[in-house]
Structures are given as C-alpha cells and as structure tokens.
Structure 1
Amino acid sequence: MRSHTPYCLIPGLVLGVVLGLVLPASGAVAQFTFPEPVEQTEPQTPQPAQNETSAQSATPEIVLTPPPLPEATAAPETSPDTEAAADTATAVRPDDVNGIVENELCHAQFFDDGTPAQAVIHCTRALESGDLSEGDIVTALVNRGVAYKLNGQLALAIEDYTAALEKSPEAGDIYTTRANAFLEMSQLDAAISDANKALAFNPEYAAAYYVRGRIFEALGQNTFAGDDFMRAYELAPDNKDIEEKAWAYGSNQN
C-alpha cells in the first residue's frame, strides 16, 4: 500500500483561537521555514506595526490547495417515510469508503464552508477504512484532533494528539498543539512539559515559544513569559499575535 501523505506538518488555523495543525491529505510535501533571527548588537524593543498588512501566522499557513468541497444542492421536500428511505439509500457502507478520499475531505472541511463536525466524520471514516499508511493515520488523527478542539471537545482532541504522538514521537509541532490544548484545560504542568518537549525537538519553533509564553503567563511567571514572547518575535517578527505580546512585554521593560 503506497503512502499518499508524506509526513509533513503544516500548522493551520488562527493562533490564539486554535493553535492546531491542519495536515494536507495529498502527496505533495509542503515547505515552510521561519525567517532567520536577525543578529543584534544590543537588545531592541519591537515597535508596533505602522500599517495594516496581512501577517505571517505564528504557525505556517497552508501552502497546498485543498480539494474542492462537493457542491451543495437543495434537498427536495420529503415525507418522514421518504427521508428514512433516503437515509438508508445514502448510508455509507464500510466497503464503500475510500480512506484516502475521506482523509482529503476531512482536510477540506477547514476551508470555505466546511465544518469541524464534518471533519470529524470524514477523518473517522478515513481512520476506520484500513486504507491509510502510518503517515496518513497521523494526518487524520491530528486533523480530527483540531476539529474536536474547534468544537470545544478538548479531551477528545488531546486523545487524538496523543495517539498521533505515539506514531510520531519526535513531532515538536504536535507537542506544541497538545500543549495549547492542555493550557485551555488549565492543565498547566502537562502544558509546560509538552512545550518544553516541542522546543527540545525544534528550538527555532516560534509557535512553541509563543505557547510556552502563554503558559508562563497563566502561571504568573511574567519574566519567563516575556523572554519567550521576545524570542518568538525574533523568530517570527511579522506575526501580529506574537508582535503584540512582545511589544506589551518589551514596553513594560522601559
């Protein structure tokens, strides 16, 4: 069975709302690198942006075009009997499921008119199909976890992130995502542990510094929080969320 998805992490949605990964369900490998930090001879405080521009997210944006969602068609008026018959006729049988297609449909739900609930359905079908390679299973688990998180089902999100990490134990991006979920559940010890693991695997990952800074804030350790926000700003100076935090802490040092 060929692998349809080389394992590559593409964090997806809005930072601070859902620092989650949305992994592409296609064969192309998406490439992203953060800008190299600028060497400075003396510490400088970041300045607020002078104009409104679309900024790079603290996590990389999707760089693959997701498959188009099926066009919705208006449902004809039906009676309860015809609705029941239609449900039976359109029920998905296990033998009819193509796991690769379901994985792609899951990914597509994070764009345009897709919904987290539909993402959960498609990812679940993909995972239960038996069609997926190890890399594709990680993709489906992470994307379903993101969908659960968007639905406020944090325990289920963490369960999926944990299953993904069992298959890809050195994925700092997934540790960062799980750390953010732990933070939202106020499980701060687990959150800081995951953030530290993420940075151990990737010490140049701006999102991990940002998340750990938020965890330090929640712990009341503002000095450490400020250090992490400033480091995140050095690594991703064009990100608005990071810039705001770095500016807030930098201005307080003056």
Structure 2
Amino acid sequence: MNKEHLYTKQQYLDMANELSHIPEKYLECITLLDKVISIDPTIIDAYEIKANVYATQNEDELVISNYTIAIELANSSELYDTEDLITLYEQRAGYFIHLKQYEKAISDFTAIYNLDTNNLRAIMYRGFIYEKLGQTTLATKDIDCVKTYMEASTGRSIEELRDILML
C-alpha cells in the first residue's frame, strides 16, 4: 500500500461521513474526501458528501459542482442504482431552489421524470416551480397530472402540499 494512503478509500470515506455531521469539522472532512478522490476519482459518494458539507458552509458553487460531478459519474456508471441517481438530482434540484435558480431545478426534475415516469414528486415540484415563475400552462399540466392521485392517496389537497413544500 502507498505510504501516503494509510487507510483504504472506504475507511477514509467512512471517517469523512462521520465528520460530515459536525460543522466545525468540515475542513477535516473535505480533506478526507479529497484523499478518497485522489485514490479513486470515480467514488460518487465522496462528491455527494462534499456537496452536502459545502452546503452547510454556503459554498454554493462548490455544492453545485460536486453534485454535478456525482451525477455525471452516476450517469456513466452501469453499477449505480437509478434510485440513487434520482436522489442526487433531487438534492441538486433542492439546492437550485435554495439559490432561486428555478430553471435549473426544472431541468433536474425533468431528468428525474425521464428516469422514472412514475415519480410524481418530480412533476409536482416542477409544476409548483412553473407556477411560481408564472408559466401557468406548464404549471397546470404538471399539477393536474398529479392532483387527482395526490388527493386520493394522501387525503391532502394540492394547496396543502404546496404549503408543506413552501413553494
């Protein structure tokens, strides 16, 4: 084993994941994740954890760039699960909403729908964003697609869901 790497990439990743929940340890966490990436730059989880850690520090560009790398790697991996890829898109879309970059969030929700046409949550969020942007035709199309199902399965109106989602 290379002397520079005292632990395996999984051990570094596990240590970083533990530290990722401690805001004052974020620099140490990022250093460990950089070690993981230096050993194997295709470890998707390292980029996802980095994005989440940078989000706690409001490092917006680093959040988006790390989610983007994770998504690109996941898209090109035959081993990466579709549900995990959807989670990456959801996380980045959520951050785009936080940044008020609604068109980019719409793009991510569309990508989710293209991966799973039964993902009503993606269409619901996309519809609410269209509505927020004043694109009523697109909003109505998406919201109507989800409305009947949501009211029947959750007992909540679409307005209650909008309030819960704060959109």
- Please say whether Structure 1 and Structure 2 have the same fold, judged by a TM-score greater than 0.5: yes
CA distance in 2, matches of 1:208, 1:125: 34
**Identical positions, percent:** 19
| 8 Å Cα contact 2:47-2:67 kept in structure 1 | yes
Please identify the structure whose Cα radius of gyration is greater: 1
Q: 1:143 aligns with which of 25, 41, 49?
A: 49
CA offsets, 1:136-183, max 9 Å, x none? Answer: x11111111111122211211111111112211262222222222222
Counterparts of 1:1-254 in structure 2, within 5 Å, are 94-111=4-21, 114-115=22-23, 117=26, 118-128=28-38, 130=39, 132=40, 134=42, 137-169=43-75, 171-205=85-119, 207-221=121-135, 224=139, 227=143, 230=147, 233=150, 237=154, 246-247=159-160
CA distance in 2, matches of 1:163, 1:213: 27
TM-score (norm 2): 0.66
Look up the match of 2:79.
none
CA distance in 1, matches of 2:48, 2:119: 18
| Structure with more contact order per residue of length (Cα contacts < 8 Å, sep ≥ 6) | 1
Q: In the TM superposition, what is the alpha-carbon distance from 1:219 to its structure 2 partner?
A: 1.2
CA distance in 1, matches of 2:59, 2:19: 17
Residues 172/125 of structure 1: CA separation in 2 closer, same or farther (3 Å cut): same
| 8 Å Cα contact 1:210-1:232 kept in structure 2 | no
User: 5+ residue gaps in structure 2?
Assistant: 76-81
TM-score (norm 1): 0.47
CA offsets, 1:228-253, max 9 Å, x none? Answer: 77479469849xxxx69642669xxx
User: 5+ residue gaps in structure 1?
Assistant: 1-92
